[in-house]
Amino acid sequence: MQLSPAQIAKLAHDVGGWRGADLVRAVKVALAESGGLTTAVGVNKNGTTDRGLWQLNTGTVADDSIAFDPIQATRAAAAIWRKRGWRPWYGGRKPDAKLDAQAAAAVATLRGGAGTWLAVAMLALSMLEYSRKRG
């Protein structure tokens, strides 16, 4: 199943419990890691496999039924993040104006002030950076 950035933002907020800048970062990580595809699979050089929306590694989450279920995977990703921060995920580490803008815009769509002002500010900065790079 393919999730939109807005669907990822809602999942990350409602299920993962991310807020503010971490909510925007969570959306960016999911987009960078899986492109929003809940069935994504990546094989690593060390023989482990990353699976699902959050690309959960077989060494961390062994159960495929968790890794490929967007709700359970989001709970697992949030639990990993609470213990280790963003270190387990390579996607989203580098500045990427397009991904930053997509993530910020997705968070800005959430109702109830779930980081909306922060997301709008990050979107504005990302769009400025993106326009500078494109000339």
pTM for the whole thing? 0.85
Q: How confident is the model at residue 65 (pLDDT cuts 50, 70, 90)?
A: very high
What is the secondary structure of the chain as a DSSP string? -BPPHHHHHHHIIIII---HHHHHHHHHHHHHHHTTBTT-EEE-TTS-EEETTTTEETTT---HHHHTSHHHHHHHHHHHHHHHTTTT--TT-S--HHHHHHHHHHHHT-SS-SSHHHHHHHHHHHHHHHHHHH-
The mean-pLDDT minimum among 51-60, 83-92, 94-103 falls in 94-103
Q: Domain residues of the chain, as ranges? A: 5-134
Choices 3.50.50.60, 1.10.530.10, 1.20.1090.10, 1.10.10.60: CATH for 5-134: 1.10.530.10
Over residues 50-59, the pLDDT tens digits come to 999 999 999 9
Over residues 9-34, the pLDDT tens digits come to 999 999 999 998 899 999 999 999 99
The mean-pLDDT minimum among 5-9, 38-42, 78-82, 114-118 falls in 114-118
